Amino acid sequence: MANLRHQAEADLSLTLEDPSQWGLPVELIDPDGVKIITNNAGEPLTGQVMYESIVINPDTGEEIVVANPVVTLRRSSLPRIPAAGEKWLVRIPVDPTDGAPLADFIFDATRAPGGSRSIGYIKLYLRRAQQN
């Protein structure tokens, strides 16, 4: 029997990255300007993109759905793991249809990347990049 953590991480190639499941194209540009468009296996970088997220209103405790995407990526697919406080550009499709154009987002400064090192994924909380 395989180690369950190892198997869960291996299954992320299907559940997060497979275009027939949740996988959508993702491009990352790290703080040094290095563009990451392929995973460590040389295939196009893909991940799960959820176009809305839920935040809690601190005054009422009410859940509010906001149009700030969350991207979940397999850690072992990335040559460099984003860290809290770093400035990365993240390009994701504007919607989940095939061939949708990519839009520019940055990390939401109010939320550190989340996820699980035990299973091997990272969640990036995004907000639309502003042009100056």
Give the model's pLDDT for residue 130.
78
Give the model's pLDDT for residue 9.
86
Give the model's pLDDT for residue 20.
87
Give the model's pLDDT for residue 119.
87
Give the model's pLDDT for residue 53.
81
Asked if 82 and 88 count as a contact pair (C-beta separation under 8 A), the reply is: yes
> How far apart are the C-alpha atoms of 128 and 117, rounded to whole Å?
26
Strand partners, 57: none
> How far apart are the C-alpha atoms of 39 and 16, rounded to whole Å?
13
| Residue in the block written with tokens 């893909």 | 46
Give the model's pLDDT for residue 76.
94
Query: DSSP label at 73?
Result: E
34 class by beta-carbon count within 10 Å (0-12 exposed, 13-18 middle, 19+ buried): exposed
Give the model's pLDDT for residue 101.
96
Give the model's pLDDT for residue 1.
55
Query: DSSP label at 96?
Result: S
**H-helix or E-strand spanning residue 115:** strand 114-116
Profile the chain (132 residues) by mean pLDDT over runs of 10 residues: 80 89 94 95 95 90 92 95 93 94 92 88 92 60
| Residue in the block written with tokens 């460590």 | 40
Find, among 111, 129, 125, the residue nearest to 49 by Cα: 125
Find the distance separating the first CA and the last CA of the chain, reported in whole Å.
55
